[in-house]
């Protein structure tokens, strides 16, 4: 069983749609990260959360520690948002990764 589960695995949306990607984890954590990996392979760290909510541009990340759940929202989605989004959690010295959500935004 994976310590980190993401859903959906694949997502196709029309440009402009509101998108939600979910991450559930089964261990107590110190922090949760959302990563973005573009088709070229580069990885960018979007957010690091330990509680509450963070916003950066059209991206919003929330975390509910009690429910062991985080969501990444993209408002007014754009084709350039097409990427794989990876949820990762840290527990002490251990890091656990989700398998990623592949997002395609169609013009």
Partner 1 sequence: DAGVIQSPRHEVTEMGQEVTLRCKPISGHDYLFWYRQTMMRGLELLIYFNNNVPIDDSGMPEDRFSAKMPNASFSTLKIQPSEPRDSAVYFCASSRDRNTEAFFGQGTRLTVV
Residue 95 as a binder of partner 1 (CB under 8 A): the answer is yes
Size of the site for partner 1 (CB under 8 A): 22
Residue 43 as a binder of partner 1 (CB under 8 A): the answer is yes
Residue 98 as a binder of partner 1 (CB under 8 A): the answer is yes
List 78, 99, 104, 106, residue binding partner 1 (CB under 8 A): 99
Ranges within 1-30 binding partner 1 (CB under 8 A) = 30
Q: What is the 3-state secondary structure (H, E, C) of 16-68?
A: CCCEEEEEEECCCCCEEEEEEECCCCCEEEEEEECCEEEEECCEEEEEECCCC
- Token pair, residue 12, equals 């196709």
- 106 close to 16: Cβ distance less than 8 angstroms: no
Which residues of this protein are in contact with partner 1, per CB under 8 A?
A: 30-31, 33, 35, 41-45, 47-48, 50, 86, 88, 90, 93-95, 97-100
């Amino acid at each position: 069983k994976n310590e980190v589960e993401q859903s959906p695995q694949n997502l196709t949306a029309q440009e402009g749609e509101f998108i939600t990607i979910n991450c559930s984890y089964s261990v107590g954590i110190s922090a949760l990260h959302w990563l973005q990996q573009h088709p070229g392979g580069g990885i960018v760290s979007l957010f690091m959360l330990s509680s509450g909510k963070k916003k950066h541009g059209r991206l919003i990340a929330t975390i509910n520690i009690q429910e062991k759940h985080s969501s990444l929202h993209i408002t007014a989605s754009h084709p350039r948002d097409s990427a794989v989004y990876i949820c990762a959690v840290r527990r002490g010295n251990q890091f656990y990764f989700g398998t990623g959500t592949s997002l395609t935004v169609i013009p």
